[in-house]
Amino acid sequence: MEKITLLLPKTTVEMMHLLARTEGRTIGTIVQEMALDRYMQQMMSSQRTSETEVEASEVQEA
């Protein structure tokens, strides 16, 4: 694991503390899950974009 320092708005920190308390997790775990969710959304979005581009090029060739 790596250690980082984040400078976040107070309201963001309060929301993270609230999430951690209500879900019984650490803030580190919540940040890790958020990062993974965001990464997966980007990968799925770029995959859909690539598939759409392939379909469009196939239509143009026909």
Per-residue pLDDT of the chain (62 residues; tens, 9 = 90+): 888 899 999 999 999 999 999 999 999 999 999 999 999 999 888 877 766 666 666 666 65
CA angle 50, 52, 57 (to 5 degrees): 95
Asked if residues 20 and 6 have their Cβ atoms less than 8 Å apart, the reply is no
Q: Distance between CA 2 and CA 13 in Å, rounded? A: 20
Would you state the pLDDT for residue 21?
Answer: 96
Would you state the pLDDT for residue 59?
Answer: 62
Would you state the pLDDT for residue 29?
Answer: 94
Q: What is the pTM of this model?
A: 0.64
Q: Distance between CA 25 and CA 35 in Å, rounded? A: 15
